[in-house]
A and B are shown apart, each in its own frame.
Chain A
Amino acid sequence: MEFADYLPIALMSILGIGFAGVSIFLSKKLAPHNPTPEKLAPYECGIVPLQDPVIRFPVKFYLVAMLFVIFDVEIVFLFLWAVRMDQFGWVGIGAVVLFMLMLIETLGYVWKRGALDWNVARRARNRRVVAPVATLDEAA
């Protein structure tokens, strides 16, 4: 039967929708309802700040997050290869090794450029280039 093939998907959908629906329903029913303006404000991420933050936080967190994403995505490719490893044989292994070498080069690049260096002062000292000078048209 063709439809039988879709049974797991149907079950999964029912479970997913059911779980979400029951959670929303129950939390409405069971939770005490005692609103204040702060509670009704849309939740984005974290508490709404009471004043403008005076501290500046390091931008390197973004860099680390981005590097994580880049090196994390490689696993997706490796997974595809791993489930069929026996069929690809040595050609497959060669291709994956090549792929990993390219990623290692990227890692080396990131390292050498100082993106992994937590010490901001040292990174600035080691940097070989400066910000571009005022551009042509601005000067004109």
Chain B
Amino acid sequence: MDAIDYHALLPEIILAVTVLATLLVDLFTSRKSFAAITAMIGMFASFVAILTLAFCDNLTFCTSTGDRVLFGGSFVVDGYAIVLQGLFIFAGFIVVLMSVGYLETDRYYEGEFYFLIVSAVLGAAVMASSRDFISMIVALEIVSGSGFLLAGWRKGDARSNEASLKFFIIGVLALALLLFGVSLIYGLTGTQVFSEIAAASSSVEDIALFNLGAIFVLLGFGFKVSAVPFHFWTPDVYEGSPPPVTAWLSVGSKGAGFVGLLSVCYLALPSVTEIWGPVLWLVAALSMTIGNIVAIKQTNVIRLLGYSSIAQAGFMLAPFGAAAATGADLSQTFSATVTYLVIYAVMNLGAFAVVIIVGTRVGSYELERWSGLNTWAPGLALSLAAFFMSLAGIPPLAGWFAKFVMFSATIGVGSWWGYSIAIVAALNAVIALVYYLKVLKSAFFDTVPADLDVATLEAGTVPGPTSFAIGLTAAAVLVLGIFPGLAANLGDFSSDFLATLGL
């Protein structure tokens, strides 16, 4: 047995210890905030560990160089893993920050909440590193399992129960489809390690069955990323779950699904882009169009963000569709999806943080109750505008660069697979403006509903941790928008390793 590279595993080890410690701290202390503080310290330490891995070449104590391959190729720490692990830990950190203020109002179990959030982050982090089907599915189930419980957090609320149950049933269905596809691929190639599947996929005898297996795997992940036509659970689950959990589901859980898609498509099946390219082209086009069109009609801000996240998933899937073209530059489409995912995560988390504050203060997430937000909370209205404009893709906020990278990658393949999806995406970027601006119009130009007392609303304060979360994400959205090179570097860093695979 080879010696285990503990430095490469350090982020996961720290997260695992944090998971256990959070539970213990909550059991043996009376102050509820200690569990949250433990979770945040643990995630911060894990983030630092990831930074030491990312800048390994410049550190004196760090002896290993290049990609670290552990456990016979099942667990790899490369640029792709590092970028996404960092993203998931950042997302978990922000979600904990915005949960602190929210949970205090509920007088309900708290320690277990942070325990589950950190577990989900651990699962997502392992997911980014796993390079075989078994470890990937186990990691995916850690993310999903925590998600099922978190969605049903408000035990007294029927809709939270409904959300949990719906999420659970759909999650299990997705897992069943995924496992069925994996079993077919395993049966035909004799391996479940991605790199070996990639090598064996060109010489599979029963190509029809292999395609079927690949399609089932895509279906399974399609549910996880809530792409049309596997999206129908999303709005109900998002609306029923406690809003901080919704923020996690729309970023962490969805991100984990995208990691699965990226790994399977680009690492396990890179030589058969003709299988997954057209399928994901269609899914991307449908997700963008249906997500955006249905979002226009929404009156509830959380549901609106739910449909918006479906549409955004479509934008992230567009580079996959473009990769169907023969001779497409796979590292460019890969990097476009990762860049988009990073930027989307930051701006969506920020949007949720603001929405939670406003929703709690107004007592409703119905858009009509939000009108005139600007008159009683100009700061919140401004940050709401920043995040929604960023989601719509308006410069100089980070969202424009995500769209720009996506367009340049899809058009860059130089074939109609890319041009066509770029046209669909361009039309949808315009449609998306309608509903993002609808919220802002209501917040800035409409009058406050008569039964709301402006003086009470003005007197409300934003909890410290949540305002920190808003500040952090707002700063990130501005910095990434004005210096897009940073996000592009992350994307390139994540796709560097593809070059070594000869893609």
Contact = CB atoms under 8 A, between A and B. Distances in A.
A54 interface: no
Interface stretch (B104-112, B178-186, B389-397, B458-466): B104-112
Given A105-B23, A109-B27, A112-B27, A132 B364 contact: no
A132 B27 contact: no
A140 B363 contact: yes
Contacts of A138: 157
A134 B156 contact: yes
A105 B22 CA distance: 11
A113 to B, nearest CB: 8
B24 interface: yes
Contact of A133 (B27, B106, B369): B106
Interface in A63-77: none
Interface in A104-140: 105, 108-109, 112-113, 129-140
A135 B369 contact: no
Interface residues of B, number: 23
A137 B365 contact: yes
A26 interface: no
Contacts of B363: 136, 139-140
B107 A132 contact: yes
A105 to B, nearest CB: 6
B453 to A, nearest CB: 14
Interface string B15-28: 00000100110011
B154 interface: yes
A48 interface: no
A132 B155 contact: yes
B1 interface: yes
A140 B369 contact: yes
Interface residues of A, number: 19
Contacts of A11: none
Interface in A35-86: none
A129 B364 contact: no
Contacts of A135: 154, 156-157, 160
B360 interface: yes
B105 to A, nearest CB: 8
Contact of B107 (A108, A109, A129, A140): A129
B366 A140 contact: yes
Contacts of A137: 159, 364-365
Contact of A132 (B1, B157, B365): B157
A129 B20 contact: no
B359 interface: yes
A46 to B, nearest CB: 27
A136 B20 CA distance: 32
B108 A136 contact: no
Contacts of A20: none
Contacts of A91: 1
A84 B24 CA distance: 33
Interface in B395-435: none
A108 B359 contact: no
A140 B106 contact: no
Interface in B164-222: none
A102 interface: yes
Nearest to A98: B16
Contacts of A140: 363-364, 366, 369
Nearest to B30: A128
Which of A113, A132, A135, A138 has the most B CB atoms < 10 Å from its CB? A132
Given A139-B363, A140-B369, A132 B156 contact: yes
Given A108-B27, A112-B27, A129 B156 contact: no
Contacts of B159: 137
Contacts of A102: 20
B291 to A, nearest CB: 23
Interface in B347-392: 359-360, 363-366, 369
Nearest to B363: A140
A131 B360 CA distance: 19
A113 B108 CA distance: 14
Contacts of A133: 106-107, 156
A105 B20 contact: yes
Contacts of A129: 107-109
Contact of A105 (B24, B108, B160, B359): B24
Contacts of B1: 91
Given A105-B23, A139-B363, A140-B363, A131 B155 contact: yes
Interface string B115-155: 00000000000000000000000000000000000000011
Interface of A: 91, 102, 105, 108-109, 112-113, 129-140
28 contacts: A102-B20, A105-B23, A108-B27, A112-B27, A129-B108, A130-B108, A131-B155, A131-B156, A132-B107, A132-B154, A132-B155, A132-B157, A133-B106, A133-B107, A133-B156, A134-B156, A135-B156, A136-B359, A136-B360, A136-B363, A136-B365, A137-B364, A137-B365, A138-B157, A139-B363, A140-B363, A140-B364, A140-B369
The 8 closest A-B pairs by CB, nearest first: A140-B364, A135-B157, A132-B108, A132-B156, A112-B27, A140-B363, A132-B106, A132-B154
